[in-house]
Amino acid sequence: MKTIVVGFDGSQQAHKALNTAKELAEKLGAKIYIVYVVDTAIFSLSEAFSTPTIAKSLREEGEKLLREAKSAVPSAEVKLLEGDPSHEIAAFAKSVGADLIVVGSRGLSTIRRSLLGSVAGRLVQEAEASVLVVK
């Protein structure tokens, strides 16, 4: 195992996932990528949510959370993505040849989760790499 991708949203479960990935990477000598996905589903809910100000705010929050995660794992690379979280994490993992994707079992909730299920659940179905869901 050479490459691990961690989905991070700042939630308690995401912190647990990050710690688990860090421990695995240290034992296996693997590289870690930490990704945050700006869930663009909110933009389709209403024109009120699709303003440049809200988009900028969501990106800034993601960048802040990635800095926080990077401080916990200084050797990791971080990446801000936009779109459907499960799809974007799976696609990114494929693009870097990840052997493992690590995510928390429950993240910060969005309307999408209540309508379509959890990111972790959809990621298990969509990703080509193995997925470790941390409780």
pLDDT (tens digit, 9 = 90+) per residue, 54-79? Answer: 778 889 999 999 999 999 999 999 99
Distance CA 69, CA 62 (A): 10
Beta-strand runs (E) in 40-129: 77-83, 100-104
Structural domain of residue 57, as residue ranges?
Answer: 3-134
pTM beyond cutoff 0.85: yes
Least Cα distance to 33 among 123, 83, 84, 97 occurs for: 97
CATH code, 48 = 3.40.50.620
Count up the domains in the chain and report the number: 1
- The 10s digit of each residue's pLDDT in 11-47 is 999 999 999 999 999 999 999 999 999 988 766 555 5
